[in-house]
Structure 1
């Protein structure tokens, strides 16, 4: 497939100089099969334009008669103000919040977002924070690798479940299997001969065994789902694949006078750009003292138990990113909705060639995470258990392990971006991380400093962003 395949379609009434971002739509019907290097670069350029552009009223920014709910929901009356910090819309560009140290990165405290449960009943004009949880903005570098890991782990876990069911049917007795994938323990599952599953032993993942690696609670399955949600919530830009006539019976669901604001192809371009953002790297400090301290700190990081959750590497079998993905739900474009899905081969991007591989040839993704939810607060150390609302049935003090790659470039820390230093966020770890936190506090000051020196080498390097 060659460059120019996109056949982008002009938006209605769009002059090239108009004060708008979406002057042309990417044609999803032309996105099928494996994209070659030039086609992928063209699609990602379109995605970067959409990610960094500041949407205006000419694009359809705003949602006067729609809510922030994930399920398309009509308002009873327009809100008093178009912009609202706690119920959205709250920004004009994706990069307004994802900008540290550059577009696609994290956000400072001032860029915090407010996350509600998202059900259709959340039709409110109140800005009372009891209706939403305040969250810091995560960076998106390496996000394509994260989603691919989530897909592979999901497939492994569901294969184990299938094997347990087959064993129970064959033997006529309950069959219990350990749910382990890529060295991560997700508990156990027991299948009964009649097909009933006992899921009480599952830990750190939903009962359907689908790893949802995005958001701080681990409730977003894919970059596509994350993007579709964010476009409506933060910008009032409604993607057709959820808010179009197929689902709502009308082309202008939010009543702002603009039809078909974001096409399925536009979302695909945004996904391709985010999926191809380079993985953060481990910097080599110029100062000899820093290099020596970081080496000691890395050893200490493992010795005190940090690697139990913040695993330095996870193996990834394939760099082929299918879009639409295999696990999305209704309201997000799915494989069955298109004649032929697209494949973005991340191996075509130069930065992936620098990733290490194991003896099997698998890519070793240096994420310092485990794609698993953990309880992160307890009665004595409750700082990170600071939310009032559960989200998607995930308890208030349970969060996805934060991947530490890039942590040296993305301060401040914590779910609210209210912890200004690495030392302070380590001290705030409770619950499942309590032992590692206590071990950290028991270290000599010089050894705690060395551990921080190590973490500060895990950075997003702007000079490596060009694919």
Structure 2
């Protein structure tokens, strides 16, 4: 009797351990909870947010709670940079901003970054790149790592600057609801697939990229560097840095000049900011517009097959976290050909950079929904057409660019026709005419 009881006990323990093991494996492999409900907000909140989005802010604006526009800024309204295809779309190169990042040094052990603003409310607050040279001086001796060798670099400039293009915000609320787990599990799946190909002696695969872990442990998915985990944080930073509007989540940007600017209360109160976020959150979602003509439809469908065949869909994932048609893995990828010369991130200035921090050459995969109405392309807006954007893919994505170039001309055209069918939302709100032309405002401008 005791032997039978012992055997039954062992079987139960074994069964329990097996169930636990299956549960652990299932938990690790599970892609995360899919998005089941889209963003919603009351009509009143959306309308209030829309009015703030298109409002042309002024210094000491009557609807601001503090000093209004500025003291430094890049635009007078949200829609000034987000207008292509309707309110909330992408921007042209004319509205690019100049972003910078300074490597840490022994005397300044923190990574610092920000924007060099185009405008200021007064001339003595104007910024330019020369101010960066004063704030972040030349490093006399740095070390460059090339093919595992350490090379001394004399007089290294720790500042890296980049032109950054405004992204389209359509469907941002759906992206906000994609779980971090969906992103991390997609990255795990891509890593396992890449490892499997390498074990089969196939070394031409695309590296899986990596998700950005923010200092508080969350996964970033908004911004060209995936520097924001939520849409609310993204909107807060845009208000503070692009318009100089302090808000409940972030203080307004201050000029990086010798003359100090006083501390100010938030320009947007909680109700205003909440309405603005609700409007951006509920911006319409783009989709695939299939032509009615049978021949054109067949070409788009063939282009969609080729999109996956040449490898575009490895990074521009058609569906993620239950959101169909988003075409992004929200991971950081390196699109620079290192054979062309050493990368900026290869230089060390004496203080290690956290592994989680993206290199200067790493950029988040942009969603492709609405891509037909969001030219120019890449983070700097340096590719005016879809064809040039595909051909520009180098670094980790070089195999895709090469595969596209090997396609016959008609297949290349079909793939581009497919991308041209990924259009902005037809129900986007039309962009209003500016109430006050910029030339009529008394503002300081950087040359």
From 147, 159, 179, the counterpart of 2:176: 147
From 220, 224, 231, the counterpart of 1:223: 231
TM-score, normalised to structure 1's length?
A: 0.60
Q: Is the 8 A contact 1:187 1:203 kept in 2?
A: no
Q: How many angstroms apart in 2 are the aligned matches of 1:444 and 1:203? A: 29
For 1:277, the equivalent position in structure 2 comes to 283
- Structure (1 or 2) with the larger CA radius of gyration: 2
1:455 matched to 2:419? The reply is yes
From 61, 65, 81, the counterpart of 2:68: 61
Task: Give the secondary structure class of the aligned counterpart of 1:377.
Answer: coil
Alignment of 1:286-301 (within 5 A): 286-301=292-307
Over 3 Å counting, the alpha-carbon distance change for 1:123 and 1:425 in structure 2 is closer
Over 3 Å counting, the alpha-carbon distance change for 1:108 and 1:131 in structure 2 is same
Q: Is the 8 A contact 1:135 1:417 kept in 2?
A: yes
Task: Give the secondary structure class of the aligned counterpart of 1:114.
Answer: strand
Name structure 1 gaps, 5 residues minimum. Answer: 1-35, 65-87, 158-179, 189-200, 245-252, 317-363
Cα deviation, 1:166-217, whole Å, max 9, x if unaligned, reads xxxxxxxxxxxxxx248754689xxxxxxxxxxxx99512346632111112
TM-score, normalised to structure 2's length?
A: 0.62
For 1:106, the equivalent position in structure 2 comes to 90
1:371 matched to 2:335? The reply is no
For 2:379, the equivalent position in structure 1 comes to 415
For 2:388, the equivalent position in structure 1 comes to 424
Q: How many angstroms apart in 2 are the aligned matches of 1:121 and 1:460? A: 32
Cα deviation, 1:285-342, whole Å, max 9, x if unaligned, reads 24443222111111111111111111111233xxxxxxxxxxxxxxxxxxxxxxxxxx
Task: Give the secondary structure class of the aligned counterpart of 1:115.
Answer: strand
Q: Is the 8 A contact 2:170 2:425 kept in 1?
A: no
Cα drift, residue 123 of structure 1? 10
Name structure 2 gaps, 5 residues minimum. Answer: 1-38, 103-110, 117-125, 131-158, 194-206, 253-259, 431-447
From 32, 44, 47, the counterpart of 1:45: 47
From 433, 441, 454, the counterpart of 2:405: 441
Cα deviation, 1:220-248, whole Å, max 9, x if unaligned, reads 1111111111112111111144339xxxx
Q: How many angstroms apart in 2 are the aligned matches of 1:270 and 1:307? A: 33
Alignment of 1:191-210 (within 5 A): 204-207=210-213, 210=218
For 1:115, the equivalent position in structure 2 comes to 99
Q: How many angstroms apart in 2 are the aligned matches of 1:397 and 1:283? A: 33
Over 3 Å counting, the alpha-carbon distance change for 1:416 and 1:182 in structure 2 is closer
For 2:150, the equivalent position in structure 1 comes to none
CA RMSD of aligned residues (A): 3.7
Count of residue pairs the alignment pairs up: 314
For 2:361, the equivalent position in structure 1 comes to 397
For 2:255, the equivalent position in structure 1 comes to none
Over 3 Å counting, the alpha-carbon distance change for 1:265 and 1:111 in structure 2 is same
Task: Give the secondary structure class of the aligned counterpart of 1:96.
Answer: coil
Q: How many angstroms apart in 2 are the aligned matches of 1:293 and 1:121? A: 45
Task: Give the secondary structure class of the aligned counterpart of 1:368.
Answer: coil
Q: How many angstroms apart in 2 are the aligned matches of 1:307 and 1:123? A: 32
From 230, 242, 254, the counterpart of 2:250: 242
Higher mean alpha-carbon deviation, 122-131 vs 301-310, is at 122-131
Over 3 Å counting, the alpha-carbon distance change for 1:419 and 1:237 in structure 2 is same
